[in-house]
Amino acid sequence: MRIKTLAFALATLAVFVFVRSSCCCCHHDSTIPEVTSCNPTNGQTGVSLDTDVTVTFSQDMDKSSVEYSFYIDPPVSGDFSWPQDDRVVFTPDQPLDPNTTYTITVNCGAQSAEGVPLDDMFETSFTTGSS
């Protein structure tokens, strides 16, 4: 009975070590990407109703992971474009609502072109003007 228990314990330990070493968060030799700027800027007021949202990263990003991890609240439909591999632009389909505070979030599902995820969720807010 002890041999079976010991074998089970060793197998469990081996699985733990394998999972831990292959975890997506353990990229010791890669630079973790960060958001370096966003336009409109955090806290900006009087933002034009026809504004685009531009997010710039510290390195080239995996486009599909960024687009999947990008949220705007209140929700707005729109399209993404990439003028550079480290910069995404979200263009709303229609003008934004007047006098409304919008929150932009890019969560940790966003990854660099090398597959390294953001270390922290990015969040910023701005408020549109009256017209």
pLDDT in tens, 60-111: 999 999 999 999 999 999 999 999 999 999 999 999 999 999 999 999 999 9
Q: Tell me if 37 is assigned to some domain.
A: yes
CATH number at residue 100: 2.60.40.3710
Is the pLDDT at 29 greater than 80, yes or no? no
Number of structural domains, the chain? 1
Is the pLDDT at 26 greater than 80, yes or no? no
Confidence of residue 36 (pLDDT cuts 50, 70, 90): very high
Rounded Cα–Cα distance for residues 55 and 61 (Å): 11
Q: Tell me if 8 is assigned to some domain.
A: no
Rounded Cα–Cα distance for residues 108 and 45 (Å): 27
Q: Tell me if 58 is assigned to some domain.
A: yes
Is the pLDDT at 48 greater than 90, yes or no? yes
Q: Tell me if 5 is assigned to some domain.
A: no
Q: Tell me if 87 is assigned to some domain.
A: yes
Task: Determine contact, residues 70/86, Cβ cutoff 8 Å.
Answer: no
Is the pLDDT at 19 greater than 70, yes or no? no
Q: Print the domain residue range for 35.
A: 30-128
CA atoms within 13 A on the CB side of 42: 7
- Amino acid identity of residue 1, one-letter, is M
Task: Determine contact, residues 126/101, Cβ cutoff 8 Å.
Answer: yes
Is the pLDDT at 10 greater than 60, yes or no? no
Is the pLDDT at 32 greater than 80, yes or no? yes
Mean pLDDT of the chain: 86
